[in-house]
Amino acid sequence: MVLAVSSSWASSPGLFTDSCPFCVPDSEYLDSQYFVLSPGPEPWLSPLPPANCPSWLCARLGACLAFLPEAFDFIARDPAETLHLSEPLGGKLLEEYTRLARECGLWLSLGGFHERGQDWEQTQKIYNCHVLLNSKGAVVATYRKTHLCDVEIPGQGPMCESNSTMPGPSLESPVSTPAGKIGLAVCYDMRFPELSLALAQAGAEILTYPSAFGSVTGPAHWEVLLQARAIETQCHVVAAAQYGRHHEKRASYGHSMLVDPWGTVVARCSEGPGLCLARIDLNYLQQLRQHLPVFQHRRPDLYGNLGHPLS
Ligand SMILES: O=C(O)CNC(=O)[C@H](CS)NC(=O)CCC(=O)C(=O)O
């Protein structure tokens, strides 16, 4: 099964065209390496979706599932703007992505939607919600980011996600998809191996970390964390990432990548927005788990049952 992962440039609000919020920005924002298609419409693709829509391209390239980064909807300037722009799951934006999934016949991992949850009226805060749509456009799973990123790293603007966001209450059981069983997480969650172990022990074959990683922690930690999660859980790891400067206070590292269970980076985006594809081989995963049966060798008697299986 082929998977596609994107490094997109979640613009400040307003950059995308109104008619197609999920399209890549106009050519003036495009890096030259973006895609194989030039942005203009191709007659045989019309009327919808437009030819420069990444998801449509992924489907044409043979992918069954495409992964968009955290904050695929927008990256705002401050918490007030984040809250102002947020929508419920049943809102207009998700409706458009539902249509997109259906029209492309593609599963979509929407890796971090600024969601007004059921408790919006009381809390006036949102959830950072990873939404998985099937190729009919139905929501098959939601996971609300459980580890919020409140950090101050020298050289990188402070992040205080809890100013606008509530931590999710629970992990989600891995979901069956045409590519394998997917465990859902978001960005900063990748720093907590207990979560990935719990998902692996609950049957995950693919772990997903849609991200908007910082420009200082990115070069130091991004690749090695993703490889570590892949090796210790013996899962494929898919990480779509925001790239570039969103506004004066915020830039993201990018470098979307897919890592196989051996820890090899099998596909990656380089600098700039872009798209990469990889084939997922579950036989390889099964063989590796037989050859290197670490899950049978664990010693919970010594260190507790880290990554307690989900109920
Ligand atoms: O702000 C939004 O709209 C969406 N949320 C994010 O971008 C979040 C919280 S600020 N970013 C991270 O978790 C980066 C983690 C990171 O960089 C690390 O772990 O080193």
Ligand 1: residue whose CA is nearest its atom 13: 188
Task: Judge contact between 150 and 167, C-beta under 8 A.
Answer: no
Give the chain as a 3 state SS string.
CEEEEEEECCCCCCCCCCCCCCCCCCHHHCCCCCCCCCCCCCHHHCCCCCCCCHHHHHHHCCEEEEEECCCCCCCCCCHHHHHHHCECCCCHHHHHHHHHHHHHCCEEEEEEEEECCCCHHHHCCEEEEEEEECCCCCEEEEEECCCCCEECCCCCCCEEHHHCECCCCCCCCCEEECCEEEEECCHHHHHCHHHHHHHHHCCCCEEECCECCECCHHHHHHHHHHHHHHHHHCCEEEECEEEEEEECCEEEECCCEEECCCCCEEEECCCCCEEEEEECCHHHHHHHHHHCCHHHCCCHHHHCCCCCCCC
Atom of ligand 1 at shortest distance to CA of 70? 4
* Closest approach atom of ligand 1 to CA 222: 20
Q: What is residue 131's predicted lDDT score, i.e. its pLDDT?
A: 97
Q: Which of 24, 37, 175 is nearest to 107 (CA)?
A: 175
Give ligand 1 pocket residues (Cβ under 6 A): 70-71, 75, 82, 112, 128, 149, 159, 161, 187-188, 191, 212-214, 217, 221
* Residues 249-298 pLDDT 10s: 888 998 988 999 999 998 888 777 778 888 888 999 999 999 999 999 99
User: What's the ipTM?
Assistant: 0.94
Q: With beta carbons less than 8 A apart as the criterion, state whether 79 and 123 touch.
A: no
Contact (CB, 8 A) for 130 and 111: yes
| 308 burial type by CB count under 10 A (0-12 exposed, 13-18 middle, 19+ buried) | middle
Measured between alpha carbons, how far is 302 from 84 in angstroms, rounded to an integer?
48
pLDDT at position 268 is 86
Q: Which two tokens stand for residue 277?
A: 């594809």
pLDDT, position 29: 28
Q: Give nearest CA residue, ligand 1 atom 16.
A: 213
Catalytic residues: 70, 145, 187
Q: Which amino acid is at 205?
A: E
For residue 173, what are the contacts with CB-CB under 8 A and spacing of at least 6? 202, 203, 310
The angle, 0 to 180 degrees and rounded to 10, between the axes of the packed helices 193-201 and 217-233 is 30
What is residue 11's predicted lDDT score, i.e. its pLDDT?
45
pLDDT at res. 225:
98
What pLDDT, on the 0 to 100 scale, is given for residue 248? 85
Which positions of the chain have pLDDT values less than 50? Answer: 11-51
